[in-house]
């Protein structure tokens, strides 16, 4: 039997660092997936993911409803990614389209081992809500109840969104 997020949050607030480690283990893949959608780079996604968990740890006492930890964390991940996009937009090198050779090499290496370019490109063509539905559902153990809780939508809305995401992804992957 697993411990609820609310119980783990309470333990963390009482000083149990291992409890936060359990929360990290439970949601790290999801947070990294959200961050990877923004960066397209595994290393940057890991860095942003660490930033998300650091902020979550430091701000945990402001979370009023401990049962809402996962939606709160997803919201925090989205905010960190928005900040990242804004900072990249301001970066003149990105605006001019300059990449360092290390970035290009690392991305190509990661994409060959972790995710096919075709699937990644198709995922990036989905809207953010559709990508989130796929990430939340498949990275949180195919639990629709947990996925709809994280996304903060009704059961029927979640299933409609998930089905739409699957259909659109299928179309994108089967186009010639």
* 39 and 71 housed in the same domain: yes
* 110 and 138 housed in the same domain: no
Contacts of 110 by beta carbon, 8 Å cutoff, 6+ apart: 41, 42
* 120 and 87 housed in the same domain: no
Query: Could you read off the pLDDT of 144-154 as tens digits, one per residue?
Result: 777 878 788 88
CA distance 60 to 17: 12
Domain boundary among 114, 143, 158: 114
* 57 and 76 housed in the same domain: yes
* 52 and 6 housed in the same domain: yes
Between the CA atoms of 89, 73, 125 and 90, what dihedral angle is there, to the nearest 10 degrees? 0
Task: With beta carbons less than 8 A apart as the criterion, state whether 73 and 56 touch.
Answer: yes
**Which pLDDT score, from 0 to 100, does residue 89 have?**
63
Residue 130: give the domain boundaries. Answer: 116-176
Domain boundary among 114, 137, 164: 114
What's the whole-number mean pLDDT along residues 57-65? 92
| Confidence band for 22, pLDDT divided at 50, 70 and 90 | very high
* 6 and 53 housed in the same domain: yes
* C-alpha Rg value of the chain to the nearest Å: 17
Least confident range of 14-23, 102-111, 114-123, 161-170 = 102-111
What's the whole-number mean pLDDT along residues 156-162? 86
* 47 and 103 housed in the same domain: yes
Q: For residue 126, give the H/E element and its range.
A: none
Domain boundary among 97, 114, 131: 114
* 109 and 131 housed in the same domain: no
Between the CA atoms of 164, 78, 113 and 28, what dihedral angle is there, to the nearest 10 degrees? -110
Total domain count, the chain? 2
**Is residue 103's pLDDT more than 50?**
no
* 22 and 95 housed in the same domain: yes
Greatest mean pLDDT among 41-45, 49-53, 98-102 lies in: 49-53
**Which pLDDT score, from 0 to 100, does residue 72 have?**
93
* 31 and 109 housed in the same domain: yes
């Amino acid at each position: 039997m697993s411990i609820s997020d609310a119980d783990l949050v309470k333990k963390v607030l009482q000083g149990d660092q291992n409890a936060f480690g359990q929360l990290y283990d439970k949601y790290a893949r999801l947070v990294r997936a959200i961050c990877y959608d923004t960066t397209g780079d595994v290393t940057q996604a890991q860095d942003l993911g660490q930033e998300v968990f650091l902020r979550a740890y430091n701000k945990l006492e402001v979370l009023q409803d401990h049962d809402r930890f996962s939606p709160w964390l997803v919201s925090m991940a989205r905010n960190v990614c928005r900040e990242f996009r804004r900072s990249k937009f301001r970066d003149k090198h990105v605006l001019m389209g300059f990449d360092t050779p290390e970035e290009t090499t690392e991305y190509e290496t990661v994409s060959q081992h972790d995710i096919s370019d075709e699937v990644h490109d198709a995922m990036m063509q989905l809207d953010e809500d559709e990508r989130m539905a796929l990430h939340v559902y498949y990275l949180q153990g195919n639990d629709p109840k947990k996925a709809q809780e994280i996304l903060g939508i009704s059961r029927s809305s979640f299933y409609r969104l998930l089905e739409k995401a699957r259909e659109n992804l299928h179309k994108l992957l089967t186009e010639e």
